[in-house]
């Protein structure tokens, strides 16, 4: 009898779980929602490299360092940024904080990722010293001229650092909050990325002034509880009026962010009302013409406050923002702000340049060249060249200062300038040559001095004279960095020329009867002396003599007797 052999079935070996996918799964899901056919392999590889390189590093909170680049990439994914940007975000600290080199980034992930990582990599503080911060910002700006995604990554990086700022010591919290309000938040505003600006504003506010932030948060929370009831009559009237005018769309209550409320009320938030903590937002379904019909409908429903209509559709802001703003009186007698925009305008109003990059994700969309809506950045890049670090940072803060006026050239071109800008600033905004030879201006047809302060809507014509030159007095009313930098450069050149002329005269007199200075210059002897002493040319040598930096007694023996 044959006994059948029973084969024992071995249990199936379970595949070891992939430790990477759970950590990066939310990022993949967010990116897939915006780009269904995205290259997930590139993101997984970027995460794996970043996690391996940062494995032994910790954040101040004690969390693994990889949580930071992963969070930065998640912020960008939620805004709908492309795969290249997300990979660069995952790797953005590797070159700065690990042995990984830029060449390795380029080899492993390609040229574009390497450009973005290099753009956001800070300069070595030990090597650059006090100049490191200024030169890092200059580097970021120059990189952003080639690819605006550098600035977008930098903003997301700062947002996450602000979210985790509580783990930093108090002095560092204050410094980061100040730098954020002075430099990073204005960049978010200039690029129109208001979803980042609002949160960065509030987080920096909380770090800079915790007591004021807490008071504002309590007041706004309380006011917003009453907002649905307070805004209900206005919403009902607006909806009815929109229907009568044949306009469809949504009408919603839009809370203001905390820092905006704090600034608008100069910190006095006692008894804050719903109309001070929120606005009405109308997003109409039709084209931009429907926005103007909606404006008429709002004014038909409630009494408009005279002089409070601002048209950012016909005249968009420098950051691509387009909407109509008006203020009206509600049936309860409260003044409220109403914002009107189309569905097409809404993504740009929230995401600014990101919306443009997202709608056309090619490299041309991410560059400054040819974008009239980013002319402010082109001007910033133009004046920064050659400016010393300290002056550059001060100029950058001034250039990015909040508030702006929009003025027109006689041909209708819009020039955006900061609040308080003068006719001189306008002249330099047209170009260094125009500014350097200006002698006055016509504002709305009336002759005004160069110190005249401009208002939005002014039509300005600059008057020039080929013989006109900058004056020391101009620095007392030049507001913009381009104007101040160009005036200072011209004055420095003039002082150098005067010093060189004085120094040459002194040297010629001291050499008289022994050496013919004109002949020495013609034969290159003067240049040889200048180079031997470390000066680039004879004018620098003469200027040193004229200013007293170089003693004639040390110089005369170097000239051979004719």
Beta carbons of 484 and 478 less than 8 angstroms apart: yes
| The two structure tokens encoding residue 172 | 């560092």
Beta carbons of 327 and 336 less than 8 angstroms apart: yes
> How many Å is the maximal CA-CA distance in the chain?
136
Catalytic residues: 96-97
Give the bridge partners for 442, in sequence order. 447, 461
Residue with tokens 């009902």: 236
Beta carbons of 516 and 562 less than 8 angstroms apart: yes
Beta carbons of 38 and 31 less than 8 angstroms apart: yes
Beta carbons of 427 and 419 less than 8 angstroms apart: no
| The two structure tokens encoding residue 498 | 């005067």
Q: In terms of Cα–Cα distance, which of 403, 404, 413, 424 is closest to 459?
A: 413
Residue 77 in 3-state DSSP?
Answer: helix
Give the bridge partners for 73, in sequence order. none
Give the burial class of 451: count Cβ atoms within 10 A of its Cβ; 0-12 exposed, 13-18 middle, 19 or more buried: middle
**What is the distance between the alpha carbons of residues 495 and 489, in angstroms, rounded to a whole number?**
10
Q: Report CA dihedral (531, 532, 533, 537) to the nearest 10 degrees.
A: -10
């Amino acid at each position: 009898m044959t006994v059948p052999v029973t084969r024992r079935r071995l249990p199936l070996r379970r595949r070891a779980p992939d430790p990477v996918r759970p950590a990066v799964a939310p990022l993949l899901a967010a990116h897939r929602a915006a780009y269904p056919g995205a290259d997930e392999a590139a993101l997984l590889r970027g995460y794996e490299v970043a996690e391996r390189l940062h494995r032994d590093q910790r954040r101040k909170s004690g969390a693994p360092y990889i949580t930071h680049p992963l969070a930065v990439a998640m912020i960008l994914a939620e805004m709908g940024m492309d795969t290249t940007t997300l990979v660069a975000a995952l790797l953005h600290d590797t070159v700065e904080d690990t042995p990984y080199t830029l060449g390795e980034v380029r080899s492993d992930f390609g040229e574009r990722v390497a450009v973005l990582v290099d753009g956001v990599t800070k300069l070595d503080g030990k090597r650059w010293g006090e100049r490191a911060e200024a030169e890092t910002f200059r580097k970021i700006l120059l990189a952003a001229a080639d690819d605006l995604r550098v600035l977008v990554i930098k903003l997301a990086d700062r947002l996450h650092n602000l979210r985790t700022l509580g783990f930093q010591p108090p002095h560092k919290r204050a410094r980061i909050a100040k730098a954020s309000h002075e430099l990073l938040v204005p960049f978010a505003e200039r690029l129109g990325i208001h979803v980042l600006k609002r949160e960065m504003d509030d987080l920096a506010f909380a770090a800079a002034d915790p007591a004021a932030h807490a008071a504002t948060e309590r007041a706004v929370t309380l006011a917003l509880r009453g907002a649905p009831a307070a805004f209900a009559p206005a919403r009902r009237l607006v909806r009815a009026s929109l229907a009568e005018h044949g306009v469809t769309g949504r009408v919603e209550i839009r809370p203001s962010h905390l820092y905006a409320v704090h600034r608008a009320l100069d910190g006095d938030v006692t008894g804050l009302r719903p109309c001070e903590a929120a606005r009405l937002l109308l997003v109409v379904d039709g084209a931009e013409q429907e926005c103007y019909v909606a404006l008429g409908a709002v004014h038909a429903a409630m009494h408009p406050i005279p002089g409070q209509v601002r048209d950012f559709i016909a005249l968009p802001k420098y950051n691509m923002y387009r909407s109509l703003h008006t203020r009206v009186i509600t049936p309860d007698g409260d003044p409220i702000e109403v914002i009107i925009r189309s569905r097409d305008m809404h993504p740009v109003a929230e995401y600014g340049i990101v919306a443009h990059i997202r709608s056309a994700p090619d490299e041309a969309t991410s560059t400054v060249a040819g974008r009239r809506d980013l002319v402010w950045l082109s001007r910033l890049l133009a004046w920064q060249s050659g400016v010393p670090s300290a002056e550059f940072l001060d100029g950058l803060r001034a250039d990015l200062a909040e508030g702006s006026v929009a003025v027109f050239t006689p041909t209708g071109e819009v020039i955006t300038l900061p609040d308080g800008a003068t006719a001189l600033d306008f002249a330099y905004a047209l170009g260094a040559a125009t500014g350097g030879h200006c002698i006055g201006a016509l504002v709305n047809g009336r002759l005004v001095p160069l110190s005249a302060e401009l208002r939005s809507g002014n039509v300005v014509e600059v008057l020039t004279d080929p013989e006109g030159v900058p004056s020391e007095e101009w620095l007392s009313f030049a507001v913009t960095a381009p104007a101040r930098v160009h005036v200072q450069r011209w004055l420095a050149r003039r002082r150098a020329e005067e010093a060189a002329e004085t120094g040459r005269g002194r040297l010629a007199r001291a050499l008289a009867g022994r050496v013919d200075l004109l002949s020495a210059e013609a034969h290159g002897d003067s240049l040889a002396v200048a180079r031997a002493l470390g000066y680039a040319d004879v004018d620098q040598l003469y200027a040193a003599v004229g200013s007293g930096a170089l003693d004639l007694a040390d110089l005369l023996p170097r000239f051979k007797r004719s």
